Chain A
Amino acid sequence: MSDALAGLYQEVILDHSKRRIGFGELDHFDAMHFERNPTCGDEITLQLALEPGTDRISALGWRGAGCSISMASASVLAEMAPGMTIAELQSTIAEFREMLRSRGAGEPDIDILGDAVAFHGVSKFVMRVKCAMLAWVATEACIAETSSRQTS
């Protein structure tokens, strides 16, 4: 099998695409967003819950349909996000996006990205970057929704 394919489909990704951490709806959530990738039809509905009265994430819940990359990246994110503040989650998303835009260059920061470094290989497959970003973009929209509610 080609090394490139093995670089794309890391064990962590194949594993998360089946485990689907966070799959399902939350009883309580502070923001919800539906995101769709029109070029491939992958879609996700993501819910974000905060610990009451704080800006700390308590849970991410999601439902969606898509390829192993988009499903695994939602799972990894749902595992990582709880416990982070909104600002921490935003900087993690920024780091993740930068890694995916690297086209395989550089070394991702495992201290910031944890299991999400497994998606470094995706950056060499430009057509799959949007798959990996799907849940993360939906999360950004949820964050924007909570922020706008707080400021309004």
Chain B
Amino acid sequence: MRRLEVVPSLVHGVSVSPLSDLEVASIRADFPALGEFVNGQPLAYLDSGATAQRPLAVLDAERDFLLHSNAAVHRGAHTLAALATEAYEDARATVADFVGASPAEIVWTSNATDALNLVAYGMANASHGRGGPAARRFALGSGDEIVITEAEHHSNLVPWQELAAVTGASLKYVPVRDDGTWTADDAAAVITERTRLIAFAHVSNVTGYVAPVSDIVALAHAVGALVVLDACQSAPHRRLNLVELDVDFAAFSGHKMGGPNGIGVLYGRADLLDALPPFRTGGSMINTVTMEGSDFLPAPQRFEAGTQPVSQAVALAAAVRYLESVGLDRIDEHENALAQRMLAGLADIPGIQVVGPAAGVTRAGLVSFDVVGVHAHDVGQYLDSRGIAVRVGHHCAQPLHRRLGLTATTRASAYLYTSTDDVDRFLAAVAEVRPYFGVDE
């Protein structure tokens, strides 16, 4: 295997060292699932991009809440109701702080998909006249343009297709290059005076490419367009300050960052959230209800209709504290080092075509690739027999795969608990795939 040079790199201008093997071992001890055996082999979990394993601190926090403070929030006058409401709002403050926002700018959703739908359907409602004069800034119609990229996850694509379909706006795509990446220049060629919104992934779940957020924000704001950032693959892995990035909305999921399923986050700039019409309506989000009509609470409550995922919010805050105790910059650096190790190793295996930025370019800790002559499902099945868990398929990005001329790829994705041993076992197993299926030259 090619020897890897460890180059201390700069994360946001500060020199950061990757996690040591000892530190990774200590982190792994916090994640009992990593000790599982799969098909008689120790699990090498390289599917954190799909869902991350959870540390004991998160499981304990959820259990502790349920054992001692469980109640419905924002209603009731009893002690547990007060404790639960306090825990729920403390969790909001923790997550807000995590992304540099204020608590009123954080809406709990069931996941990132839900958060993106909340924006899309809120805008659809505004386009139908809901929300009064304040919501007119969100109203779309014929001639207006929504811009996304060809690389988007379906969750940041289909809601905008639907919004375009119900409003008459047109949906335009920033084309990607042959390696699946795109630049601010590519986006500038698509954004026009009629662009009202641009939505894109901060980090691609397929290529690991890190988008030039600030450049896109500048281009969008210059024409008065809103920026929606899909932060699913960035919030869990790198320091993120949504206010500094100056995006208008952002979405991420709890289960990709060591938190539970069923909880996600929508960030929205305060003035925008207060003007966006609600997507879901019902209890807990209203001020006054009469038989003729209703008026709504301010954000974030106006977007949180019905009973809420309280223990999940509490557990997500515990996940945030866990990540911060390790340090997001160090997690970022650790994953970049693992990605470079994967890239260097894959480059030495015949018949592997990697998707995404070239080796040496900073990328998220994930690598998607094609094993020439072997379908990704067969690759995944083979790796599973060796105890190695990877994602196979189109990774909810069919247009990107079509553009790259592939029907499916195999993706290995790392997290703070991923060891170099996981990566080396993965590389050794990938090298066996083509010989096993009889397609080695």
A residues sitting closer than 8 Å to B (CB atoms) are 1-2, 4-5, 8-9, 14, 18, 39-42, 65-69, 71, 125, 128, 131
Would you call A68 and B39 a contact (CB within 8 A)?
no
B contact residues around A2 at 8 Å (CB): 39-40, 385
Interface set, chain B 367-410, CB cutoff 8 A to A: 374-378, 381-382, 385, 392-394, 398, 401, 407-408
The B contact surface, by secondary structure, is mixed
- If the complex has contacts A1-B385, A2-B40, A5-B382, are A68 and B408 also in contact, measured as CB distance less than 8 A? no
A contact residues around B374 at 8 Å (CB): 68
Would you call A65 and B381 a contact (CB within 8 A)?
no
**Cα distance A92–B174 when bound, in Å?**
49
Query: Is B438 in the interface zone, CB < 8 Å from A?
Result: yes
Would you call A18 and B375 a contact (CB within 8 A)?
no
Query: Is B37 in the interface zone, CB < 8 Å from A?
Result: no
Nearest-CB residue, chain A, relative to B393:
A40
B contact residues around A71 at 8 Å (CB): 375
Interface set, chain B 22-46, CB cutoff 8 A to A: 39-40
Partner of A128, one of B381, B408, B437, B438: B381
A contact residues around B436 at 8 Å (CB): 1, 9
A contact residues around B377 at 8 Å (CB): 40, 42, 66-67, 69, 128, 131
Would you call B408 and A41 a contact (CB within 8 A)?
yes
B residues sitting closer than 8 Å to A (CB atoms) are 39-40, 374-378, 381-382, 385, 392-394, 398, 401, 407-408, 436-438
Nearest-CB residue, chain B, relative to A15:
B438
A contact residues around B375 at 8 Å (CB): 66-68, 71
Would you call B381 and A5 a contact (CB within 8 A)?
yes
B contact residues around A14 at 8 Å (CB): 437-438
Would you call B438 and A18 a contact (CB within 8 A)?
yes
A contact residues around B382 at 8 Å (CB): 5
Nearest-CB residue, chain A, relative to B401:
A41
Would you call A41 and B378 a contact (CB within 8 A)?
no
Minimum Cβ distance to chain B for residue A34 (Å): 15
Minimum Cβ distance to chain A for residue B76 (Å): 42
Would you call B408 and A40 a contact (CB within 8 A)?
yes
A contact residues around B40 at 8 Å (CB): 2
Minimum Cβ distance to chain A for residue B112 (Å): 20
Would you call B385 and A41 a contact (CB within 8 A)?
no
**Cα distance A1–B393 when bound, in Å?**
24
